[in-house]
Structures are given as structure tokens and as C-alpha cells.
A and B are shown apart, each in its own frame.
Chain A
Amino acid sequence: MMATLTPPAEHQAPAAILVGGSAGAIEVVALLLGALPVDFATPIVVLVHLPRNRPSALAAALGGKCKLALREPLDKEPLAPSTVYLAPSNYHLLIDPGPSFALSVDEPVNFSRPSIDVLFQSAADVLGPRCAGIIVSGANPDGARGLQAIQVAGGRVAIQDPDDAAQAAMPEAALALCPNAQVLSAEEISQWVQQPCTWQTSGKGAR
């Protein structure tokens, strides 16, 4: 067989876009998902902190706004194109090689289950430069270390402008660990995810 040339990671389509948020995040996520065209291929994984022991009402809240398939993933489910996945409540959600999803009921991290750090760190391990992480509005520092892990692995990172976010604590915590991340308004985030060619690889690899 002939050897195939693999384009450098920053020119490849990302394998997944991950969005993490907490208080005030649902509006931002709704805006982002609502703006996506029906042929948007990259799988999107959304993790918003929600009260535990309650079936996630997020799918119902966001489903009507989104043209793409939208569901909570099952254990070992492979990531499929043109699909939005919502982290189920009361489980940690992780990305496994494949890539596919894995779940755990380990102890909460940052008082959160699901934890954004857990999801983002697993995505950084498995997908490396082929994933993008976004931290939006929230009132706790979960996700900052995970976003940093994605950045270190060569993935693209963006943070909602703390001034634009309903709750600034989560974006500020992320910004403290990822000072080179793209800082964007909610509007700009929904444009950014649709234009991978404008994505900057962060850190030393910034173009």
C-alpha cells in the first residue's frame, strides 16, 4: 500500500469540540447550537453542571434549538459526526480511544459530577491536538485544568470573555491557566466553532 500523507494536526478536522460551563452557560450553549448548520460534521460534547439525582432536562431545553442530532451518550458509544452529546447528570463523562465515550461514578471532582476537568483531560489524552475546548460562563473553577491540558496537548482553546459571561468565575479561572486562549463573546464563540480555519493553535504553536 502506498503511504498516505497525513496533514499536520492543525489542518485536520477536529475530532470533537468540547464545551464546558456552569451557571449561565445554557444560554451560551443554546446560542452556539442554534447557529450550527445541519451539515456541521464535528461532534460536539456539552457539559453543563446541573443538579444531581435528576434526569437531565437539558436535552429537552436545547433539542428544539438545534438542527443536529442531540442526545446523552451511552457507555462505549462511538462519537458520530453531526451529533451533539450532552453529559448525563451524576456521571463523569470521559473520552476513550476510538474515540468513544466512557462514564464513571467516581467521586465528584471540584464538587462536580460530571466534572469538566475530567472530560477535558481525557479528551486531551486521547485526541491531543485534534480537539478543541471551550469554557463558558460558570461560578466555579472546574474546567480550568482540563482546558490547560487541551492546550498543552496542542488542541485549540477558547474562553468566554468574563465580561460577557453571566458568571465570570469559571472563565477567569480558565484564563488564569490558559492566558493565550482565544477570548470571545458568546456571539463570537458560535462563529469560532464554525470556522476551524481561523482557529489559532494556542501557546507556542500560535500562528
Chain B
Amino acid sequence: MFRDPSFYRALREKVVPYLRTYPSLKVWIPGCATGEEVYSLAILLREEGLLDHTLIYATDIYPEALRKAEAGIYQLERIADFSKAYCEAGGRASLSDYYTAGYNAAVFDKSLRAGVLFSDHSLATDSVFAEVQLITCRNVLIYFDRVLQDRAVSLFRDSLCRKGFLGLGAKETLTFSIHAAEFAEFVRDEKIYQRR
């Protein structure tokens, strides 16, 4: 969780002020895998007072990954790294406030996912299903070739409201995308873009 803490810090400090201006929020996490990014974002949004009126779409193509994401159970040995990253990301409390440890695992508070819809969706074959204000899709596009990346980014563009935000992984970029001109760099170093 909170992989690349500086990304989450930038979300908190630079993007959240914009998200606050919406009466209700929709967020899409495509390629959510086993859910680390979902819980990271849910915790951040709760601490910023936004989670109660946010709907998060967490999608992936692997049913098994989605089941794990929904369960929100992680090996206890990973929690030390998660906690450190949470603090570096500007966490306002202690990560332990959000999970219960037992049997060598940590179970995250189910209220974090009360507003999360876990669902099957393929960036390769499926289409737009909602209008959202924020998409975070980190270290998913690196597995796609240019053609598939362009398709995925066109879905992101069509799903985002005007001036909506797109967060990519630290080494991912829209620079080489045919859709580059449709987005503005919002936090350049953190690969956070804003739809034009």
C-alpha cells in the first residue's frame, strides 16, 4: 500500500483541494489487482473527509484478484512497509487504526470498502461505464503495448469529467501516447495529469 508515498502526498496536497469542490465523487481504479491501491486511496479519502460521499470503482480482469481485493487481507509481514509508506504519504493517524491483526494477517476495516464496487472490466475490450473525477491506474499500462495503451488512455479520457485527474505509475507517462495533447501535466514528477 501507498507505493511511492510521494504520489499519495501529491494527491492529498494538490488534487484533494479540487476533489473537495464536487458534491459527490466517483473514482476509478482500473487494474486494481489485489486492492492495495484501493485501500490506500480509501484511507486517504477518509482522512480528508471525502470517503462518505465517494463511489470507488475497483476493476480488474482477474476474478481471483478481485476476490482478494474485496477481502482486504494482507500478509502481516508486508504491514511494516505499508505503515512506513503511509507515514511518508502524509497519513494523519496510524495505519493500525485501519486494520485488525491476527493469524499472521491484517484485515482492513470493511467500512473502508463500503463505497467500493469491485467489478470485472477489461481495458482491452470493455468500454466506458461511468463519468469519474479521478482515475488512478498505476503500473498497469506498463504491461500494455503502445496500441493497447492508446486504447486504455482513450477510455480514461472519455471517463474523466472535464478537468478530471489521472494518476499513473512513477515510470509511466503520456508523453509517448497519441492522446498526450488531451491531458495537461498537473504534478509532473508524480505523473498526475488533468484532462483538458
Contacts and interface: CB of A to CB of B under 8 A. Distances in A.
Interface in B137-162: 139, 141-143, 145-146, 149
B141 A53 contact: no
Interface string B123-148: 00000000000000001011101100
A53, A74, A75, A78, most chain B CB atoms within 10 A: A75
Contacts of B120: none
Give the dominant DSSP class at B's interface. Answer: loop
B139, B142, B143, B176, most chain A CB atoms within 10 A: B142
A74 B185 CA distance: 15
Give the dominant DSSP class at A's interface. Answer: loop
Contacts of B109: none
Interface string A56-78: 00000000000000001111111
A75 B81 contact: no
B185 to A, nearest CB: 13
B176 A76 contact: yes
A104 interface: yes
A88 B142 contact: no
Contacts of A105: 139, 142
Nearest to A101: B171
A102 B143 CA distance: 8
For chain A, which range describes its interface: under 10, 10 to 19, 20 to 34, or 35 or more residues?
10 to 19
A74 B81 contact: no
A93 to B, nearest CB: 9
A104 B171 contact: no
Contact of A77 (B141, B149, B169, B176): B176
Contacts, number: 37
Contact of A74 (B139, B145, B173): B173
Interface in B161-176: 169-173, 175-176
Contact of B172 (A72, A75, A96): A75
B139 A53 contact: no
A173 interface: no
Nearest to B146: A76
A126 to B, nearest CB: 13
A78 B142 CA distance: 14
A74 B143 contact: no
Interface in A77-104: 77-78, 88, 91, 96, 100, 102-104
Contacts of A76: 146, 149, 173, 176
Interface of A: 53, 72-78, 88, 91, 96, 100, 102-105
25 contacts: A72-B171, A74-B171, A74-B172, A74-B173, A74-B175, A75-B141, A75-B142, A75-B169, A75-B172, A75-B173, A76-B146, A76-B149, A76-B173, A77-B175, A78-B176, A88-B170, A91-B142, A91-B171, A96-B145, A103-B142, A103-B171, A103-B172, A104-B143, A105-B139, A105-B142
Given A88-B170, A96-B145, 16 more contacts: A53-B81, A73-B171, A74-B171, A74-B172, A74-B173, A74-B175, A75-B142, A77-B173, A77-B175, A77-B176, A88-B171, A91-B142, A91-B171, A102-B142, A104-B142, A104-B143
